[in-house]
Structure formats: structure tokens, C-alpha cells
Amino acid sequence: MPRPAGSALEVNVLGSSLPAKVEATIRRHGLLPQGSSVLIACSGGPDSMALLGVLAALRPQFSWTLTAAYIDHGLRPEAAAEGEHVRQTAAELGVAAVARRLPGDLHSLKGDSLQALARRERYKMLLAIAGECGAEFIATGHTADDQAETVLMRILRGTGFQGLGAIKYINGPIRRPLLDARREETEAYCRISRLSPVLDKSNLKDDYLRNRLRHRLMPMLAEINTNYVTALCRLAETAQVENAWLEQLTMDAAGRIGMREDGGWWCRSRDFAALPTALKRRVLRWLIAAAGDGGDGGDACNDDWWPWARMGESESTYEHIVKLEELLSAGRTGAALHLPGGLTACLEKGGFWIGRTTTTEYYEVTPPLPGEMAIPYTLFTLSLKLVEGTQDALSEIQRSGRRPPGQPGSRLEEHEPVPWRPEEKCEYLDWEAIAGLIKLRNRRPGDCYQPMGMSGRKKVQDILVDLGIPRRWRDRLPVLADDDGIIWMAGVRGAERVKVTPATRVMLEIRLQVLHKP
């Protein structure tokens, strides 16, 4: 660990040089454009207080609109007073400021360490505040020392090459103007600028890995190489530059072999198998990151922007990636692997899917007739109406190939494997053969029926397995039932006992359509 600046001259030199260094960093990386609105994340510590002071000093040159934000995580009783101190300091510098407390109790949240949860919720709150005050960017006080610590932490955790990139200057709206500055410089700047940082006593404890590295390992490294921080920062920068190229290769590969599907990502197995091993693993990490964000991205709650933050410091470890590779190599349709963050990887016919499976409950409702309704736990609608006609009329409909408006061609016409989902189409049943009221529901344990063209009754579970319908769909498929049992099931067929015959006079038209593409 570097020796803290001691003499007044050392402090003055280090502190007075910080604004010029920060300005150079901002201009070199285009961090905070002229005239932009900036939210400064300020914990009250030396780094963030120095950031507040330097940006306030540079404001006339850049015409920024500045707002400071203090986030109380609800973990320390002194946080409220620290927030007030930040607001007073900001006011003295002519900067607007807000102090917010995170809602709820971080200890009640699951899935991550307390530090990771605090970071995630802090970034969420900062994004919300930025939206309220119209800030285009969020400036944080990460320094070169933070960068060096992060690189070491990731090495010790067994990171992949992308993790060595550690903290970036720009991650979406997150900007790091102090990333070229040392901690001793921020402390010196606070002293000569008469800024009074607060002391977070939790930073003095060795409860967290970062603190243990800072207190124990860093002093040892300084004895071996006084420029160890510069060396580790150079490693991170090299990794970032090379990762930028690798990231593009990864995204291109993921786009070629996969697609968004059912809230996650679905990929063709044969195309994935043809990728080089190194690219396979990066693609898997990318898919896990993307699926963890619902397939849409936009997660600013890690040290890097989506999805590369989740790749660099992701919950998906080397072991998870290797197990996922083994699952895909085995090629056993129906096999599944649970991944961190509530994700599941499922091997399906022709491909594999990574996402969050939908938790379903039993439901039973009376559908409107005639009418349309959304099907629970899906992106589909079901329309029912009565149509006068006979088997000859149905044959004419089938011969003409008439489909509901907007319905695509049969999925069997596709040349490439595609993810399974219920097909949009119309089906017809004999209305007068239906017993009693129609109910819309999902499947129940022990459900049996005889689909059209099949001899004898069969368990629904066995039918779904035989048809290769993915597990993630089985409890969500809509079922129509009358007083005597199932008469229709999406993705399967209507029941033999209600099929249209020459004696049919009135048909029940069942139309399944997608609300919007998954």
C-alpha cells in the first residue's frame, strides 16, 4: 500500500495536481461532454468527496449541471448524519444534493453477498435519482487503487480473461473520472481543499475480501514492486482493449446461433457445437448474462454495463460453465441444469434454452363464448366462437389452408431447428358433443384423454414427453375441459370424442394467437 502523503509540500503537490489529471481523463475518454447533466455518487469518503470537489471546480470549463447523491443502505446508524454532511458540503460548493435511504432491508434479499446486494440496490437508486433530476451520466469515485484491488479479487476468484478488464471508464451512463488517480491523491486533495471526508468504520474491518487485500496483501505487493498499481491497471486496460474485439465476436456468434425466446435465449445445438471451445464458453457466459436480465439487457447494477458486467464478475463460475458444456455435449433431450440467479438451462429438441422458468399455479376459469382472453403464464390469447357447419365445411377450410390473420406458416416448413412453442392456428370441435360448461385451465396430475387419431386414452404427461414438448411449457399449456374431461390442449390435438363428424351441425372454433413475439 502506498505511503500516505506526509509533508505539507507532498500533500500540496499531490492534491493540486488532481484537477488537471481528472480533466485529462475526462477529455481523453470523452466521459462527461460539454453542457451535460451529471449525478455525482457521493458516499462521503475521500474518493467521492474529492470527485465532488474536482467536478465542481471544473464545472465552469465544461458548463455541467451537477447534482450529488448520497445513498443510505440502512446498514449503519451513522449513515443519516453522513448524508446530511454530504448535502452541506455540496451546498458549500454550489452543487444541489439529495440523500436517499434504500427501501426495505438488504438482509432480507437473497441470491448475493451483502456487499453485492448493496451495490446492486445502490445503482438502482442512483439510476432512479438520475431520471428524476434529468442527469445523463452518473459519475463514481473509483480510483486506480480500486482498479488494482478489483483485478486481484477477480484473479483470486478464478475469473476468465474478460474479468481482468475489471472497472471501465465508461459503462453505459456510469462514468469513472478518477480511474487514473491514486487514493493518496484524493486524500491530499481533500486536505488542501478543506473537504472533510467521513470515515466508514466498516472499511477498517477485514470482514470483506477487498478490505483483506487492502490491509494485508497490498502492503506486501508494494514491497515487491512499488508500481504494482500501475502494472495491474495496465493489465486491466490491455484486457479491456482485447475484450472489446472478443465481445464483438461473442455477440456475433450468439446472434447467429440463437434468438430471444420465452424470456430467455434459445440456441441451435449443432451450430453451438461447431464453435471453438473458447468461443463456446464466452457465448455461454453471454447467454447466462442476457437471460439473467430477461433477454433485454439494461442492468447497471454491477461494476460493468450489461451484459459484460455479469460476465466479468458474474455468478456463473468456471464450474457452472463446464457443467453446462457437459450437459450440452451429452445431448440428452430433457436434461436440465440449475444455474445461479434462478436460471435454468434445458436441452430441448434441436437446441437448448437458458432462462428463468415460470412458476405456475393451478387455475381454472370460464372463457368468454364468443370472446377472447389472455392465457395465464403465456403470451398467447384464446378466442372461442360457434360456427355453423358440417364436416364438409371443415374439409373445405382445411383444403383452402385458411389461417387466422397474421398466422405464420407451419413450423415444419422451417429448414433450421426452431424453439418449440404452441402453434398459432384454428381448430374445430363438435359443439354438440361437448358435455356441460367449458373451462380453461392448465394440466393436473393424472390428467388423461384420447387425442384425435390415437387409440385409447393416454396420460397427458406421456403425451407431452412423446411429442418432445419442453418442460418449461408443460404446466403452462392451456387446456379446455368439459364435464367429462379434456376436449383440447394447445400443442397437442382435440379429443377424439368431440371431433367433427358428418353429423356435426355446429362447430366450436378455437383460435390460438400470440400477443407479441416472445
Local confidence band at 404 (pLDDT 50, 70, 90 cut-offs)? very low
On the question of pLDDT at 365 being above 90, the answer is: yes
Rounded to whole angstroms, the Cα distance separating 45 from 51 reads 10
Q: Binning pLDDT at 50, 70 and 90, where does residue 374 land?
A: very high
450-482 per-position pLDDT tens digit? 999 888 899 999 999 999 899 999 999 999 999
Q: Are 185 and 14 in contact (CB under 8 A)?
A: yes
Q: What is the pLDDT of residues 127-138, one digit of tens each?
A: 999 999 999 999
- Encode burial over 40-51: b for 16+ CB neighbours within 10 A, e otherwise: bbbbbbbbbbbb
What band does 409 get if pLDDT is binned at 50, 70 and 90? very low
> What gap in Å lies between CA 170 and CA 76, rounded to an integer?
30
Task: Select from 140, 148, 131 the least CA-distant residue to 169.
Answer: 140
Top pLDDT among 399 and 26 is at 26
| CATH placement of domain 242-355 | 3.30.465.60
Which pLDDT tens digit goes with each residue over 45-55?
Answer: 999 999 999 99
CA dihedral for 275, 277, 279, 281, sign (positive or negative): positive
pLDDT at residue 283 greater than cutoff 90: yes
Lowest mean pLDDT, pick from 134-148, 236-250, 283-297, 398-412? 398-412
Fold of 364-514: Phenylalanyl-tRNA Synthetase; Chain B, domain 3 (3.50.40)
Please say if the pLDDT value at position 240 is more than 90. yes
Report residue 103 as a C-alpha cell: 427501501
pLDDT of residue 517: 52
* pLDDT band for position 278 (cuts 50, 70, 90): confident
Between 73-87, 118-132, 203-217, the lowest mean confidence (pLDDT) is in 203-217
pLDDT exceeds cutoff 60 at 411: no
DSSP 496: G
**Whether 450 contacts 484, CB under 8 Å:** no
Encode 102-144 in three state secondary structure.
CCCCHHHCCCCCHHHHHHHHHHHHHHHHHHHHCCCEEECCCCH
- Do 364-514 and 242-355 fall under one CATH topology? no
Query: What average pLDDT score do residues 486-493 get?
Result: 92
Q: How confident is the model at residue 424 (pLDDT cuts 50, 70, 90)?
A: confident
Domain parsing of the chain, residue ranges: 8-141+176-226, 242-355, 364-514
pLDDT at residue 399 tops 60: no
Confidence grade of residue 351 (pLDDT, cut at 50, 70, 90)? very high
- Residues with Cβ within 8 Å of residue 232, at least 6 apart in sequence: 147, 148, 151, 152
pTM of the predicted model as reported, rounded to 2 decimal places:
0.70
Q: Which pLDDT does position 425 carry in this prediction?
A: 82
Give me the mean pLDDT over the 427-439 stretch. Answer: 94
Q: Are 181 and 144 in contact (CB under 8 A)?
A: yes
Residue 111 has pLDDT above 50, yes or no: yes
Strand 506-514, strand 425-430: pairing: antiparallel
In the chain, what percentage of residues exceed pLDDT 90? 64
Residue 176 has phi, psi (to 5 degrees) of -120, 85
Which residues contact residue 301 at a Cβ distance below 8 angstroms, ignoring those fewer than 6 apart?
119, 120, 121, 123, 124, 309
Burial of 489 (0-12, 13-18, 19+ CB in 10 A): buried
* Rounded distance between C-alpha atoms, residue 237 and residue 169, angstroms: 10
Q: From the CB of residue 7, how many other CB atoms can be counted at a distance below 10 Å? A: 8
499 touches 450 (CB < 8 A): no
Per the structure block, which three cell numbers stand in for 400?
Answer: 383452402
pLDDT at 326 (0 to 100): 92
Q: How far is CA 210 from CA 164, 203, 213, in A?
A: 16, 9, 5
Residue appearing with cell numbers 456468434: 253
- Cβ neighbours of residue 469 under 8 Å, at least 6 residues apart? 420, 477, 491
Q: Say yes or no to pLDDT of 4 above 70.
A: no
Task: Give the pLDDT mean for 234-256.
Answer: 93
Kind of pairing between the strands at 439-441 and 479-482: antiparallel
CA distances to 5, 45, 206, 233, 303 from 216, rounded to whole Å, are 20, 21, 9, 19, 23
Specify the 3-state DSSP secondary structure of 13.
Answer: helix
CA 371 to chain centre: 36
Confirm if 494 and 452 have CB atoms less than 8 A apart. Answer: yes
Q: How many CB atoms lie within 10 A of CB 27?
A: 11
Give the count of beta carbons closer than 10 Å to the beta carbon of residue 496.
Answer: 16
Q: What is the pLDDT of residues 377-392, one digit of tens each?
A: 988 999 999 988 766 6
CB neighbours of residue 118 within 10 Å: 18
Go through 169-184 and write b for each residue having 16 or more CB atoms within 10 A of its CB, e for each that does not: bebbbbbbbbbbbbbb
Mean pLDDT calculated for residue range 421-437: 90
Distance CA(470)–CA(348), nearest Å, equals 6
Q: Beta partners for 345? A: 337, 354
Is the confidence at residue 9, as pLDDT, over 70?
no
275 pLDDT more than 60: yes
Find how far residue 313's CA is from the centre of its chain: 13
CATH assignment, 8-141+176-226? 3.40.50.620
Tell me the CA distances in angstroms from 352 to 251, 264, 419, one per residue in order. Answer: 17, 11, 8
Using an 8 Å Cβ cutoff, are 489 and 478 in contact?
yes
Alpha carbon 314 to its chain's center: 11
pLDDT score of 210 more than 50: yes
d(CA 462, CA 179): 59
